[in-house]
Amino acid sequence: MKTDLAPLTEPVFLILLSLAQSPRHGYALLKDTETLSDGRVRLSTGTLYGALRRLLDDQWIERFETDDTSREKQSYRLTATGRKFLQAELARMKQLTRVASACLREA
């Protein structure tokens, strides 16, 4: 399991943020990350599934069984570990914006 607190990329941050709201399948994640970023982040399926693979390996997310058996959709949900790292990243970003705001006020 990954335990360092390296800054998350924006796509990974948005994927985790989307999954913090509710479990989702791949297509829903593609759409939600685009919505959360106001259209700035448009993930390709290759980028999304590469990120999901890494997040599964790091145990930040897990596969989630759904009742939707009409298609073979894989759904994912955030784990407690993933939530912890998402919260740590949010705290890091808040601290950075506090410092940046203070510097800009002084300038």
Say what percent of the chain tops pLDDT 90.
Answer: 80
- pLDDT for 65 equals 80
- pLDDT for 64 equals 87
* Nearest-angstrom CA–CA distance, 25 and 41: 18
* H-run or E-run covering 64: strand 61-64
pLDDT, tens only, 27-79: 999 999 999 999 999 999 999 999 999 999 999 999 988 766 556 678 999 99
Domains of the chain: 10-106 (1.10.10.10)
Mean pLDDT of the chain: 90
| Position 94 confidence tier, pLDDT thresholds 50, 70, 90 | very high
- pLDDT for 6 equals 80
Query: Do residues 34 and 11 lie in contact, with contact meaning Cβ atoms separated by under 8 Å?
Result: no
pTM here? 0.87
